Structure 1
């Protein structure tokens, strides 16, 4: 079954209330490269993207993405490109909530041209953002084999805590597998550390998808990634949350490592240090001498 990924990183915003995000482009490019190299995806689409002639390939661009373009690309990806296949969506950018006249909160993903109206220090109206309610409906209508979503934005937990639990969970049957991880709870803001290369959440994702985190199968699943992220973010200003359904979904797979045989070393049954079988003769002798002081 084919696999397709859509990696979104929006850094530029027109509204004064939405600051420029300095790490978003770098975050998204790091994720895209990992998926291209080890995710076995037929296509990793970047938004926004530019052609790098030196690399002879696309890379993330620090340019604007309108709400119309973001909505259309999400729709085409979910309903057409990834239809009946495995899909992964990564989003890095601004997220926000709007409080209506009844005091009910609704979550949005911000596009570059997004406009937010304030009243009494609260967001009360918006234009051109992507409503998480509508994205939820789009996912429900899609014919995907499986879906993985990684959301690195403020209030991203709203998507899980208020929407997917109540509605999308019923849309997915046992034939659909999904795994979703958000950078923070619905009331939290996703953070960055100026001295670091990536944002807090994506930095943990990049480490969690690295070869150092693979198991014996050389694969990293959604559960394995989330366990690593939770450990990395423990004690920080944000708490990642997850939701999964169905079978375990593999995100990346690393090739098996061929261990060079080198010079064969015969195992001495009288040697109590079995691990020394893998060391060369000189290192083994030095280690044995040092360890003798601990043997009564």
Structure 2
């Protein structure tokens, strides 16, 4: 496990200091520690990762029972994550939840880059850390399974987002329409959603984007899609997002900006990675579709 450089005080932090260098985040600590855990400690660690942060907010006996280990094993994991005890561990999880639900004004006050330094460099470094963190969190097997589902032309793909994430859903759909066809954006007019849900079945893949403050309609869409037999793929900022309960695959990307507003960069990055992988899995089929598309553009538009 690589050593983590410690910063003695805030004044000594470089302009590009980011959350990845901050040991307070439980998920980051867990990701770094997993390879060095004993098998039983890893078992509880993986359970925490897959049910984050809800599992860690349970009383110790319940958390241990759910993970299939003893309370002593949970305490050993908590100690290896650097906490003095279970209470301190839970306090940190609660602090993270409060941060997730903070208002833009609160986040602006808490995370605005320091004046007098390289403001733009610090802002860019923060976004780069978000992107790196998102890719580090991805379970590779889940990513490959989701890409294979989206590459399967026998399935129909529907995508929906929220107030700020709908453009990412649209971006995904526009690419999939070229790569494989049978991909459709579900618009923001929720009154029309039942018309789409009517035809959802086991060959439907529903891709949903939902970040804090989580939208009830997105949660309901995920629930209804799963009840219809569809496979739900969720892009979000926390595994505790309400829609995660209905999703088979959950991809988490940090959205904290270095100012008042959340950042969608990491969500876009994961989406572009998925598009690229689906394109590779399609292979010659994509090349054929692109060729026919160029011919159609030439005929309709008189040029490329």
- RCO higher in structure (CA 8 A, sep ≥6): 2
Q: Fold conserved (TM > 0.5)?
A: no
Larger radius of gyration: 1
Output the TM-score relative to the length of structure 1: 0.35
Name the structure with the higher strand share: 1
Output the TM-score relative to the length of structure 2: 0.34
